[in-house]
Amino acid sequence: MKEVIGRVRLDATNALIAQYIRADSVVVEIGASDASFAQFHRSGEWLTVDKYGSPDVQADLDGENAKLPLPDASVDMVLCTEVLEHLVMGTPLVKEIGRVLKADGIAIVSVPNVCSLKSRIKVAVGRLPNLAASGDCGHPLGGTGIPSNGNWVAAHVVDFNLARLNGYLKRGGLQIKQAKSLPLSVKVAGRSFTVLPAALVATTLSDFLLVAAGRRAT
C-alpha cells in the first residue's frame, strides 16, 4: 500500500476487508512497509511482509524464488494491494498466496486499472494514463518510479484490466469471488470530489481493480 493512499481506495479496501475478517483471523499483509491496514481492523494475528522498510518479515517476493515463510493452509486472509503491478514476475507470489491460504481463506487484491474511464479518456486525447506501466521513465516523463543516483528505478511494470487480473490470478491458483466498483472522483485544486457513486460505475471502468479471491477448486 502506498504511503499516501486515496481516500476512495482506502475506504473501499477497508470495507472489503471488513466483510471477511474475523476477530481471530490470521492476516498476512504484503507490501505494507510504509502503511498498513492493521490500524483499522482487529484480528488474531497480523503479519506484514515486504522487501523494504521494517516489516515483520523482510522478503523479496518478485521472481521465481518468492516464498512466504508460512505453513500450507495456515492463513485466513492475505492482503496484496498495489503490489502486483510492480513485479516483473508475480505469478510465483500468487501461487504462494494460494498455498498459505486456508480452504475458505480470502485474498484481497488491488491493482491500478489501465482501462479505467479516466484512462480511456486520456488515451482518446493522446495522453498516457498516469499509472500505466512506464519502466524507468519516471515522473518527468509522466510515469511512475523511484529516483536513484540520477536515474529512475522502474515502479509500475505490468498493466492490468479486469480480464487480465482474473486470468493472472487463475494462473496462480486463485479465483475471483467478488469485484468491487469504486466511486468516480476527480481532483480539483488539490481536493477530491465524487462525480459518480460506486453503484453507477462499472468495475471495468473503476480507477483501481479491487477484488476478493479464494483458492481455486482442484
Residue 183, φ and ψ in degrees, nearest 5: -60, 150
Instruction: Compute CA distances 206 → 68, 158, 170, 214, whole Å.
Output: 30, 17, 21, 22
Which DSSP state fits 37? Answer: G
List the domain boundaries for the chain: 7-113+160-215, 114-158
- Of 36, 28, 182, 172, nearest to 93 by C-alpha is 172
- Supply the pLDDT for residue 208: 96
Model-level pTM?
Answer: 0.92
Residue 29, φ and ψ in degrees, nearest 5: -115, 120
pLDDT tens per residue, range 156-196: 999 999 999 999 999 999 999 999 999 998 888 777 778 89
pLDDT tens per residue, range 92-121: 999 999 999 999 999 999 999 999 999 999
pLDDT tens per residue, range 34-72: 689 999 999 999 999 999 888 999 999 999 999 999 999
- A 10 A CB-CB count for 190 gives 5
Which DSSP state fits 20? Answer: H
| Domain at 7-113+160-215, CATH from 3.30.540.10, 3.40.50.150, 3.90.1570.10, 3.40.50.80 | 3.40.50.150
Which helix (H) or strand (E) segment holds residue 121: the answer is: helix 117-124
pLDDT at 145 over 60: yes
Which pLDDT band, with edges at 50, 70 and 90, does 218 fall under? low
145 Ramachandran zone, left/alpha/beta (phi>0; psi -120 to 50): left
Instruction: Compute CA distances 37 → 80, 202, 212, whole Å.
Output: 11, 25, 15
